[in-house]
Amino acid sequence: MKRVVVTGMGTVSPNGHDLAAFNWGIREGISGIRFIDELAALNFRCRVGGVPVLSEDQKTILTTYGLLESSAYLQYSLLAGLEAWRDAGFEMPEPMGGDVQYDTGSIIGTGFAAMDIKGKKLVPAIDSGQIKKLRSDLVEQVMINAPTTLLTKVLALGNMNFTNSNACATGTDAILMAAQHIKCGNARRMLAGGADAYSPYYWGLFDAMRILSPEFNDRPHEASRPMSASACGFVPGAGAAILVLEEAESALERKAEIYGEIAGGHMNTGGQRNGGSMTAANNEAIVRCITLALQNAGTVPEEVDYISGHLTATKADATEILNWKTALHCTYDNFPKINSLKSLTGHLLGAAGAMETAASLLQIKGGFVHGNINCSDLHPGIAEAVSTQSIPGKTQEKIINCALKASFGFGDVNSCLVLKKFIP
């Protein structure tokens, strides 16, 4: 089996428009949550969200590719994909030129794809009988595999081209599947990650279910409160994170900068049994997912020194901590450091797992654990289960050798990655 490392990353996040800004954002505890006028005008209960603010340079790139008016999930994917490619040390091929990279593929997932464009352009045009208005390029935005197809064209990728969707576990799944593809020797490199756009046309579904945070519309930075006693629902977010996964051998050969190793992982579901349902988790399945991820990576629970939680700021947060405790055989005192990126960005849905993996790798490389904002009033169930030492409010310097990143999604689906500092 091949070993797999991460040699490049690209992120378009609510709290940082590119990788450098995102790294700064997590270190400094910068919130990307803002008030959104459109949500207020549409009578949403939750009127805040995490939406990336693109730089002028990024807008110029979008103009070059004719994507300035396209779906945000496609825009974010292109920007994150190109950033990851360059970050990994690769040159951009000539437009429509250069050799096909048959050893490089892509798996990019999404939860809701181009809902923004479907709602604003596609449906109104069809319903008003103005089909001509659609023109030819809308299909390239609306088809679910738009991001991989676009990056395949721009970067001349010739290996597996695949789009996955699995609720909140989407981004984590994409990275795990891409790693497995390389491990088995089917590709040398894979772009992998997730993307989702801001759109009231699907954020509204969650608002209607009353699972979004409605009580902090006047204080957006305080609205996303994972692990706090005052958590009242998640804050939706948008963005994309794409990683360049690479065979360790190939990365060493070309002396590439390495963020860390994807040592293994596991995906499962709880079958919507034993307490599991569309919205609740079968805890036995979660513990099993974490345990098998560790086994798959040849690691033991004692090695884990950092957890990037799913922790969305619902009542499931306390249960999640208990599940981690069970899976890692921890006591109150020896629970690893844990944080939730969602306190800073909101819940990026199909992009969440990928963005949180990128954050984990930045922490492994940078030797720190970013702070959790908005949980000084720790949930009593969590305060009882683990020491506050495990839940830093402010960023702490810390060497991380082994990290777990898990995502637990709608429909009782689970995914867990084991990330390690790379030792050749």
Partner 1 sequence: MEIIEKKVIEILKKYTPNNSVWEHFMLQNNLTRDLKINSARIVDIILDIEEEYKIEISNTEIEKVTNVQEVVKLISTKTAQ
Query: What are the catalytic residues?
Result: 168, 310, 347
With DSSP H G I counted as helix, E B as strand and the rest as coil, what are the percentages for the chain, rounded to 5?
A: 40, 20, 40
Q: Which of 97, 99, 136, 333 binds partner 1 (CB under 8 A)?
A: 136
Q: Tell me which residue of 141, 137, 135 sits closest to 116, measured CA to CA.
A: 141
Closer residue to partner 1 (CB): 41 or 143: 143
For residues 131 and 82, give the distance between their C-alpha atoms in angstroms, rounded to a whole number.
Answer: 33
Compute the least distance from the CB of residue 195 to partner 1, in Å. Answer: 23
Binding segment toward partner 1, per CB under 8 A, in 38-46, 133-141, 180-188, 339-347: 133-141
**Interaction mask 140-179, partner 1, x per CB under 8 A:** x---------------------------------------
Q: Does 137 bind partner 1 (CB under 8 A)?
A: yes
Q: Do β-strands 189-196 and 337-339 pair in parallel, antiparallel, or remain unpaired?
A: unpaired
- Counting beta carbons within 10 angstroms of the beta carbon of residue 145, is it exposed (0 to 12), middle (13 to 18) or buried (19 or more)? middle
Closer residue to partner 1 (CB): 1 or 96: 96
Q: Hey, is 201 helix, strand or coil?
A: helix
Closer residue to partner 1 (CB): 135 or 219: 135
Binding segment toward partner 1, per CB under 8 A, in 74-82, 135-143, 240-248, 284-292: 135-143
Closer residue to partner 1 (CB): 141 or 180: 141
Compute the least distance from the CB of residue 133 to partner 1, in Å. Answer: 9
- Name residues contacting partner 1, limited to 72-131 (CB under 8 A): 95-96
Compute the least distance from the CB of residue 96 to partner 1, in Å. Answer: 7
Compute the least distance from the CB of residue 65 to partner 1, in Å. Answer: 10
- Counting beta carbons within 10 angstroms of the beta carbon of residue 134, is it exposed (0 to 12), middle (13 to 18) or buried (19 or more)? middle
Closer residue to partner 1 (CB): 95 or 298: 95
For residues 247 and 228, give the distance between their C-alpha atoms in angstroms, rounded to a whole number.
Answer: 40
Q: Does 43 bind partner 1 (CB under 8 A)?
A: no
Q: Does 135 bind partner 1 (CB under 8 A)?
A: yes
Q: CA-CA distances (angstroms) from residue 375 to 225, 307, 353?
A: 6, 17, 21
- Count of all residues that appear for the chain in the document: 424
The contacts of residue 217 (CB under 8 Å, 6+ apart) are 35, 40, 46, 47, 48, 223
Would you tell me how many other CB atoms lie within 10 Å of the CB of residue 137? Answer: 12
Can you give the binding site for partner 1, defined by CB under 8 A? 95-96, 132, 135-137, 140
